[in-house]
Every structure is written in C-alpha cells, then in structure tokens.
Structure 1
Amino acid sequence: MNVQQLENQLWEAADQLRANSKLTAAEYAMPVLGLIFLRHADNRFKAYLPDILAGIPAKMPPAQREALIKTEFQGKAAIYLPEAARFDAIASLPQGANVGEAIEAAMDAIEAEYPALEGALPRGYTAFEPDLLADLVKIFDRPALKTATGDVFGRIYEYFLNKFAMTGAQEGGEFFTPPSLVRMIVNVIQPDRGIVFDPACGSAGMFVQTGHFIEAVRHASVLESVTFHGQEKSDTNTKLARMNLVVHGLDASNIRQGNTFYDQAEHLIGQCDFVMANPPFNVDGVDTKKVSKQVAPQTPEEAAQAEGGPYRLPFGLSGTNAKTGAISNANSLWIQYFYSYLNETGRAGFVMASSASDAGNKDRDIREKLVRSGHVDVMLAIGTKFFYTRSLPCTLWFFDKGKPEDLQNQVLMIDARNVYHVVSARSHVFTEEQLQNLTAITWLYRGEHEKFVDLVAGYQRQADDWLAALPSRLRAETRTLRRLALKLMRFARDAKVDEDLLPPLPTDPAPKPEQQAELTQQRAELQAALDAWRADLAQALTDTSTADALAALQAQAAQARTAIAQADLASHAGQKALQTTLDALTPTLKAAGKTLETRHKRALALVDAAEKTLRARASKAWHGKAIREARRALQPADAKKNEDPTVRDLALEAPKQAAYFIHQVHWLHSRFADGLYEDVPGLCKAVTRADIAANDWSLTPGRYVGVAVAQDDGDEDTFAEQLREIHEELAELNEKAVALAGRIAGNLEGLLG
C-alpha cells in the first residue's frame, strides 16, 4: 500500500467521527493527532528495541530490565515508552475495557518521562463513544501502520494537519502554513546551522521542513546542526508544535507560549542565524504603549535618553488608530521583529499580506529604511488560493544581512502569481518542480550557477528514466489489447444470432404469427448489427497506424536515450545541446498519449457495442471474466477508491512524465539561455535602490517585472488545469445558486402563507 492510499484510508476512518460521533471536528482533531503521535512513537521505539534487548541478559529481573531499557534509549532518535504507553498494550485491551482511560494513562506516562512534552499531549479520549474509539485504535494498529517508517508517519502527520485545517478544525486554519510556502521559504534561506527561530510557530511546520532540508540536501544530522526556538500565542498550537517536532525526531524543548507582540524573547534578539514565520496578517489593536519601548532611538537626542534596548523596532513605530490609539496594522511590527532577531549574517524568510509591500504613511517610511539597509534580498509574489481557509494573495519576504556587497544595492523581484498547480477550485500548490524552478532563479541571482546545472541535469536524467520505462509499459498495454482482441475474435467467429444472441420463443404454446414476424425482424436487425460489429473489429485489427506510431515513438525515444548517455550533463553547453534533441521528441511524446487514448477508446467501444447492442453477455462465445479484466486494465484507476494504477495508467504515464521533465528544462532554458541570471519580463527583475525609490519604496514585485512576453511553452497541462478550475468554480457557483433559489422560494412561501 502506498503512502497516499494509507493517508486517505486513515482520513476516511478518522472522518467517521464526524458522521458517527457527538464530537465536533475541533474536539476530535487533537485526539486523532495524539493517536498518530502514539503510533509513530511506538514504531520508533520498536525500531531500536531489539538491539537494546540483545545486550540485556534474559534472566534479569523485570524492574531492572526496564530501567536498563530506559537508560539505553538516551541519545537515540526515539523516545522511551513505558509499558503502559506502548500501542500493543492499548490495542490488545479486552472487549469492554475503557480504551479512553488507557490512552490517557499512556499520555500521562509519556509526559512523566519527557518534560518537553508536559501538558502537550492530547486528552479527552474518555469523551469518545467507546466502540468508536476502539475501532479507531484497531485501524491505527493495522500492519501497514505498524511497519511505517518515520518519513511515512511524518507525511501522515502533516497530511492530517492539512486536512484538519481544510475542515476548519483549528481556529480557521490560521496556524497552518501550506507546505508549498514553507518549502519555498526554506529553499531560499537554506537554514542549515545555528539558531532557527519562528516567533509565530503555529504547528512548527517551518522547523519540520528545515529538518527535511538538512537531511536531504546537507546530508547532516538535524540535532547537531540547528537549535529550534519557537514562540506561539495559542496554548493548543504550542502543544501541537511540540508534538509535531517530537514525532519527527526533533528537539521540542525550546517551544514556548507567548504573545510575540509583548513577549520579546530578548535572549534571541540579534542572535538568530535564521528566522522564518507565517504571522497573522493585518492585526489591529496591538497596545501602542506596550510596544513603544521596543522602538530604537531614531535621532541622536532620543539615543542620549534611551535606556539601551535591546530594540525590536529599529525603524520606528507603525501608524496608530486615531480613535483607539492602538496600532492600526501590525504587519510592520512583524517585519521589524524578524529583522531584529537576525545576527549580523542572518537570513529571514516569512509570509506577509500583499498589502504590506505597498502600505503608505509610516509603513512606507519603515520600508524605505529597510531597503536602505541593503538587507532586503528577495520579494516573491504568491497568487490566490494557497491558503486552505482564505483565498487572498500574499508575498514572501526575504532578508539577508550577509548579502555580498555587489548585491546590497538591489532586490530580486519574482512574480510567481501565475505559477501554481490546481488541486481544486479552492486550492493551489506548487509542484516539486515549480518550487525548484523558482528557487533556481535565486541561485542564478546569487551566482550559484552550478546548482542550476545540477537541477537541469536532474530533470534530464528523470526524463531518461521515464523513457527507459516506456518500452515495458507499452508492451504490457499491447499484451492486454492482444488478449482482448483474441477474445473478441473468438466471439466474432463463434457468436450465432439464433443460438445464443436472441432469447428463445416459447414452445408451449406455439408462437403466434406476429411473434414469429417480430422474431424474424429481430434476427435480421441483430444479424446486421453483428456483421457491422465484425467489420468494425476487422478494421481495428488491420489498422496498423497506431502500432506504427508507437514503434516510431520507441525508436525516437531510444535515440534520445543514446543522446542522453553521450551528453555532458555536467556542463550547461552539454545540456543545451542535448535539450535540442529532447525538445524535438516532445511532440511525439504528447501525440503518444492521444494515440493510446484513441486505441483504448476504440477497444472499449467494441466491448460496449457487443454487450449492449449484441447482448453478448448472454452468449456462450463471450468470455466475460477475461473481457472484464481487460476492460478494467484499459480504464483509469479510481482515485477515490485508492486503486492502484492500471495498465492504461502506466502506459500513459511514461510518455507524459518524460515530456513533463523535458518541459521543465525547456522552461528554464527559454528564460535563462546562458545559465546565468537575467531579467525575465513578467517573472523576475533585479531592481536597484533607485528603482525602488522611484516607486515610492514599494516592494511589490508586480510593479517591476512587467508583462510576460508570449512564449510557446507547449504546456497543455497548465491550460487543462485552468479549464478544470473554471469548470469546478462554475459547478460550485451553480450549486450555490440552486441552494439560494431554494431558500428564496422557502422564504416566499413563508411570507405568503
């Protein structure tokens, strides 16, 4: 079972609570996450336990044995679980036992062992219906979950956070930063050492992704590389952050509860190597008196009277509400906080409302001082629908106090509002490749040409992998069609109208003349239909155009693979020369998908015609089971049922994915032909301080990058996504219109009596 199937099955199981429980989503979200935590902790515990037990004498008294096990777990990338907290102990409870009490006792036992988790683990299990909770425990005790690795459980955990955010289970989802934005921030600032601070840490997603980055890119130990510090106003989210870190094997001891507006975390001011956050946007009502002491002296006179800091507002106070005297919008407070926590070479990346890039008055003055510091590194505009609970656009801001001198007079503007993948009418994400391509722009801007070359080489190798898979997948598809053709040919040969296609007339009493006439007419029509069907089958069997096209595809693909093997993928020149060959293959790859689809539709149409028009299922000549299997293999898998890919899916996937990775290189080369940074209209521009001053210190990328020059990317998938999104939005609006019409009609009936 793959991870996606596992995630979906678990969510369906947990979602039974919404249908069958008296609890609301907000009430059962944390307990379900607690079960995931417990299952994952148990898996990691058992991964280390055999080696530890091997070094302990079998005859040692139980109490001493358990004490030694606990000691041996110190320093391991797992937590020690007391016997009562092990999942087996809970799953093996007899029927009728109080499972809720047992789970809560397990949470108590774990917190007693690990002070960093004290008060963080969920409770409330006794409020669940006993049978429903017992069933949920059984689901989490399935073999696939018992053997799931840490990475799999990390994905499941993040998946559930995502799902609960989308269903509004966690205060409107405000704590949850979409993984696309987290990964984009991590990719740009590359947090790999020292102190990493998130003063609005929510569920600690920034830290988890930092851990992935260090392990996958730096190939280093997270615990030895960085120290995470997090602060979060909400007690619930603080607990969630600690659970999330522990479930990923990360240190949760520096997660603290506190309102960042008033709790300065002074020991971190000016000390952090990296700051990353997704703060709440457009907060008003912050107490001006409480934050005014955080403002650094702005004049020599103020400096003479100052008490000495530390100051988190180096560029001044935001504007206040004339009526209330409170801060009217806290965006500029957050922006300065992130800046002030950095050390002299630190980097920051954070999400901010798009309006903050253009806000006027004091916010404009603060931006001017920021730009003049030379530390604003990158501004990246994000389109709508990336957040699960709100559709507003946002901007990613990046600071770098260690910027090289030659870049301090400029800021890289990237407008990525037209870069996204449609998940649904309400949700957009970045694909893995979109993330990498946007990150590649920052690499080139910083002069990191070798990373760009490595990325392109990776795409070309992935294209090669998919081309290598093409022959075997096409052979499997061809075998399926041949088996189907053989069964259809036998039916065409053996089917007889009188014997098995027409229902027999009754013999007692003898059929009337009009029945005989009707039978004669049916026989003639059915015989004509059978003859026409046989002709269609014969035509399909003798049509070699599809086979010829696929043979030509494989020959061209083989030539492309030879070119890849001979290319110098370590150089930009070698990659460009190879890309000419790969680009020439793209139309053939895309045509292959249409060719295969046409072939499948033709075969399925023959099956449907035989069953519906010729009543073939009643015929002894119809090999029903084999034909059903072939029909299933030539249709797409049902994603809602978590079905494995069919022969048809696998055959279509190979040319599609090969074309996809070839297109990624085309996208990059068409914009950065020399493998060096250059301004691309509609996408990116390196703007000078003078440019920004001329635009009233605006940091909105769209003001600078201009309009994209029309490029023939040949990206039909993007166009299809846009059409699907429009269709889904229209369907949603139609549903709302019908519901509204129903309410209006009901109200009118009520008014009219």
Structure 2
Amino acid sequence: MTKGTGLAGMESKLWMAADKLRGSIAPTRYKDIVLGILFLKYISDREKRDENKRPKSFRVPEEARWTYIMERADTAEIGFTLDEAFRAIERGNKRLSGVLPIRYSGEELDPRRIGEVVAVIDSFDTLTIEEDALGRVYEYFLGKFASLLGQGDGEFYTPDGVVKLLVEMIGPVSGTLYDPCCGSGGMLVQASRAVQAQSGRISNLSVFGQEMNAATRRLAIMNLTVRGVEADLGRTNGDTLRADQFMDRKFDNILANPPFNVSDWGQESLLEDPRWQWGVPAKGNANYAWLSHTLAKLAPSGVAGIVLANGSLTSRISGEGDLRREMIERDKVDCIVSLPDKLFYTTGIPVSLWLFRNGKRRKGEVLFLDARSRGTMVNRKLRELEETDIGEIAGAYHRWLADCKYQDKAGWCKSASIADIRERDYLLTPARYVGVKETEEGEPFGEKMDKLVAELAELMSQTPILDERIKKSLRAIGYEL
C-alpha cells in the first residue's frame, strides 16, 4: 500500500461521513451506519474490478450495485433503497442471511443525512484501503469513540503488516486454520489469500474462528463471504475462554491477536479446565489463558502465531513465570519476535509475536528476533511494517528453521538453547539474547563500553580534587559549604 493512502489517508473523509449524522442518532451508532454503506461501495468496486475472477459463491445483485444506489442518493427513498440492497444480497447469498444491516429506512434516520453519507463515501477509492477494509474502518470508529464505547478491554484491530508477517512465518498451506478471537476476520482472510496464491485453491484450507462481539462477528462473515472463503465461525458469537465452541477439535494452524491484559476473564469458573495443562493462568490477566488455550488446541504437528503485549515475556505475577517456564522446558516455544511501537491504530503499545510449534524442527532451541527498529512512520501516530520488513523477519525465521545460511547477528537475531533461557530465569525479551549491534564505525559494543567505563572512572577519581577547589573558591569570597 502506498504511504498516505489507505485508512491513514482517509481519516478526514471518514469523519466527514460520520459527522453528517450528528444530532440525528447516537454517536455510538455512527460506525454501523457508515460501515454498511461502505460495504456496498466496497463490494461494488470489487465486482467491477474482478468481473471475471470474483468468487462464484458471491454475487452483487443489480439493485445493490453502487451506481444504482448513487442514482437515488438525493431522494427521500434512499433509506429504503439501502435496505432493499441488503435484502437482495442476503437473498442471493444465504451465508449472509441475518448478518447485514437493514436499518436505514426507519423514522429515526433522516434520508437527507443518509444521502449525504452516501455522497461522501462515493469519493472513497475503497480498493486502496487494506484488504480487510471493513475491519479497519470499524476499528477507526472504536478509537474515535473510545470513551463512549468503553474502549479499554485491550481489544485492538490487528494491523495488516502484522497479519502478513504472521502468515508468512507460519505459512499455512493446507489442513485446518483457526483464530480463537477472529475479530473482523482479517487474519483468516489474509491466510486464505496466501494459500490461494500458492496453490490456487482456497479449499485446501478449512477455516474456523470464534468471536465474542456480535457486530464484529457479522463483519467477519461479510469479509469472508465476499472473498469466497467458506468458514465455520461457530453457532453464534461467544467468549472463547469461557465457552469454546470447538472444544473437541485440534488445528494445524492457529493465528491469534487476543485482547491484551484482560483482567476479568472468568478464571474462577474455569479452575479445573483441561486446557490448563501448564498450570492455572493468573486470575487478573488473561494473557496466559490465551497462550494455554492455543497450545491446547494445537494439532500434534501444528504451528501457532500469537500477538501479545510485551509484558507476557517477563511477567511473574500469580505464577505466570511458572507457566512460561513449563512451556519452555517442554520445548513448545519456537520463536519470539519483538515488534516496534505505534503499529496499532488506536494504541502505541509495542507487542511481541509468540510462535509455538509441536514437533519442533530445532529441538531445544528458541529463535529470538529484535525487530523494534523496523517499520516506517506514515504519520506521527502510526507505523507500518513494509514488505521489506516482513521479508527480512520471516526470512530469518525460515532460514533458522531450515538451518540454511542462518547466523546469529548482534542486535538482530539469536538462536538460544533452553539452557541459555534457564540462565536468564526464563525471561523471553529478545534484546536480552541478541545484544546490541556493532556501531557504524565497526567498534564492538563491548570494547566501546570498556572505554566509556574507563573514562568515567577517571573523571570520578578527580571528584575529590574538584570538590576541594570549589570549596576553596567559595571560602575566598566568604562562603562555606
């Protein structure tokens, strides 16, 4: 994606569209109204672009095409036109039955304002937004109305670059793929697209997911359906930790960006849960519940990639250090990657990637990658991982896996043994292992530090002499220290 395009370059237009609704409905509903209209624009743009290669399982009826809607945007019937467009899509695509918004023709909504929203969205080039366009816009509104929507549960949209990186690293090509907190389906979409690019057949991958938020789950169904991805997202929306809808299943590939640091996750009612084979996760933080859930769902030769806040790498509260030790000693951790800050649209929090693998190729070793310096700032708040960053990180991991042309590099990567990790008290921060890269002049960090320490010692040795000179000078003008 070109810098400055995509959602980061469309904020003002998105807010302009939402602002047309001010005073007529509650601000917390802005996102629902705008998202529905954006969905129609998005699928029409894709239909026009991919006329000969669109998924046969998805069709956009004439009465739902954007040109049809725009012809009626300035009429009093625009709300009815939109509702009928969604009904037509549902009739032609049974998987979307009961999923799409049909709410535009009620007395609550002013047709003139809805028409103005349509006109603003008409100026969008939706194909310049990230592939998970709906999910990204949804997350934008969550951030915009954080205080009104109660944002604070640690749930964030997974950036496109992070999704691509995880997919590149675990490389799902066939079998089953599972996302236990699938959000708007971005990871499942990206993984399915990667499989299709490799084999030409999405059907090689059986897709599963679960999402707690009902509105977000509907977005996931919409996202997957328009791309022809058959996915089982469970019977309904639901909390994966409290009510796993795939209790008896194991998965070959798992991708997850669980909500960070959730305190009230229901530990008291799950003390005897069989998923806690490493120990019962802390009551006040769900991070290790998600890690334990992922390991419990992993097939005998499966691989998983999980995005978590950095605290999960070092925390010792309520036994988390013990759980981490068990995961390491049983050789389940394959790779840890530190990512830069400001990758997330609504928070600057830096995160890390955990990679688990059953039946590890490099037994007794963990690869640590420090990628905190990667990425490019696209504005003052947002950083993106570019293709070169993704290729560099994923390439280092795959070279290490294959034991081909891999070498430890100070400040970047280190293959550490379990004994090395044991010596560091099972702390998993990559910087502790990779060290610091050599300076541009080529002087090793250790040698440079030796010189700096020697210089500091020399200066400190002169402190008493300098103190006495200062006192003498002060006494000369009548002052005593």
User: What is the TM-score when the length of structure 2 is the normalising length?
Assistant: 0.80
> Aligned to 1:210, which of 177, 191, 195?
191
Structure 2 CA distance for aligned equivalents of residues 243 and 3 of structure 1: 27
Structure 2 CA distance for aligned equivalents of residues 168 and 436 of structure 1: 35
Determine the structure 1 residue equivalent to 2:251: 272
Q: Is the 8 A contact 1:196 1:273 kept in 2?
A: yes
Structure 1 CA distance for aligned equivalents of residues 341 and 6 of structure 2: 30
Once the two structures are superposed, the pairs formed by residues 273-312 of structure 1 within 5 Å of their partners are 273-294=252-273, 311-312=274-275
Secondary structure of the residue aligned to 2:210 is strand
Is 1:417 the counterpart of 2:397? The answer is: no
Is 1:334 the counterpart of 2:334? The answer is: no
Q: How far did residue 399 of structure 1 move? A: 0.6
> Aligned to 1:31, which of 29, 33, 38?
33
> Aligned to 1:367, which of 304, 324, 327?
324
* Pairwise CA RMSD: 3.2
1:393-415 per-position Cα deviation (integer Å, ceiling 9, x unaligned): 221100111322xx110100111
Number of aligned pairs? 431
> Aligned to 1:314, which of 277, 287, 294?
277
Once the two structures are superposed, the pairs formed by residues 444-455 of structure 1 within 5 Å of their partners are 444-447=399-402, 449=404
Secondary structure of the residue aligned to 2:402 is coil
Q: How far did residue 44 of structure 1 move? A: 5.3
Determine the structure 1 residue equivalent to 2:222: 243
> Aligned to 2:344, which of 387, 393, 412?
387
Structure 1 CA distance for aligned equivalents of residues 239 and 81 of structure 2: 35
Closer, same or farther: CA 402–418 of 1 in aligned 2, 3 Å: same
Determine the structure 2 residue equivalent to 1:187: 168
Determine the structure 1 residue equivalent to 2:467: none
Closer, same or farther: CA 168–678 of 1 in aligned 2, 3 Å: farther
Q: How far did residue 78 of structure 1 move? A: 4.7
Structure 2 CA distance for aligned equivalents of residues 79 and 353 of structure 1: 37
Q: How far did residue 288 of structure 1 move? A: 3.0
Secondary structure of the residue aligned to 1:184 is helix
Closer, same or farther: CA 9–262 of 1 in aligned 2, 3 Å: closer
Once the two structures are superposed, the pairs formed by residues 57-96 of structure 1 within 5 Å of their partners are 76-93=55-72, 95-96=74-75
Gaps of 5+ in 1: 52-72, 295-310, 320-326, 450-675, 714-753
1:511-534 per-position Cα deviation (integer Å, ceiling 9, x unaligned): xxxxxxxxxxxxxxxxxxxxxxxx
Q: How far did residue 260 of structure 1 move? A: 1.0
Q: Is the 8 A contact 2:156 2:346 kept in 1?
A: no
Give the number of the structure whose residues are more often helix, by fraction. Answer: 1
Closer, same or farther: CA 26–448 of 1 in aligned 2, 3 Å: farther
Closer, same or farther: CA 248–381 of 1 in aligned 2, 3 Å: same
Q: Is the 8 A contact 2:195 2:205 kept in 1?
A: no
Q: How far did residue 447 of structure 1 move? A: 2.2
Q: How far did residue 19 of structure 1 move? A: 3.7
Gaps of 5+ in 2: 443-481
The residue identity in structure 1 corresponding to 2:238 is G
Structure 2 CA distance for aligned equivalents of residues 97 and 3 of structure 1: 39
Determine the structure 2 residue equivalent to 1:160: 137
Q: Is the 8 A contact 1:200 1:260 kept in 2?
A: yes
The residue identity in structure 2 corresponding to 1:160 is V
Structure 2 CA distance for aligned equivalents of residues 349 and 177 of structure 1: 13
Secondary structure of the residue aligned to 2:269 is helix
Q: Is the 8 A contact 1:348 1:399 kept in 2?
A: yes
Determine the structure 1 residue equivalent to 2:410: 681
Closer, same or farther: CA 157–257 of 1 in aligned 2, 3 Å: closer
Determine the structure 1 residue equivalent to 2:426: 697
1:704-753 per-position Cα deviation (integer Å, ceiling 9, x unaligned): 1112211369xxxxxxxxxxxxxxxxxxxxxxxxxxxxxxxxxxxxxxxx
Q: Is the 8 A contact 1:39 1:140 kept in 2?
A: yes
1:185-242 per-position Cα deviation (integer Å, ceiling 9, x unaligned): 11111122111111111111111221332234x14222x1212211111111111211
Once the two structures are superposed, the pairs formed by residues 541-560 of structure 1 within 5 Å of their partners are none
Once the two structures are superposed, the pairs formed by residues 520-539 of structure 1 within 5 Å of their partners are none
Determine the structure 2 residue equivalent to 1:102: 81
Q: Is the 8 A contact 2:412 2:437 kept in 1?
A: yes
**Bigger radius of gyration:** 1
Q: How far did residue 697 of structure 1 move? A: 1.6
Determine the structure 2 residue equivalent to 1:653: none
Structure 2 CA distance for aligned equivalents of residues 76 and 351 of structure 1: 30
1:389-442 per-position Cα deviation (integer Å, ceiling 9, x unaligned): 2222221100111322xx110100111122232223322222211111111110
> Aligned to 1:708, which of 432, 437, 445?
437
Structure 2 CA distance for aligned equivalents of residues 174 and 438 of structure 1: 25
Secondary structure of the residue aligned to 2:399 is helix
Is 1:130 the counterpart of 2:111? The answer is: yes
User: What is the TM-score when the length of structure 1 is the normalising length?
Assistant: 0.52
Secondary structure of the residue aligned to 1:344 is strand
Is 1:440 the counterpart of 2:421? The answer is: no
Structure 2 CA distance for aligned equivalents of residues 9 and 393 of structure 1: 23
1:264-299 per-position Cα deviation (integer Å, ceiling 9, x unaligned): 234454x201111111111112333421231xxxxx
Secondary structure of the residue aligned to 1:212 is helix
Q: How far did residue 41 of structure 1 move? A: 3.2
Secondary structure of the residue aligned to 1:232 is coil
Secondary structure of the residue aligned to 1:348 is strand
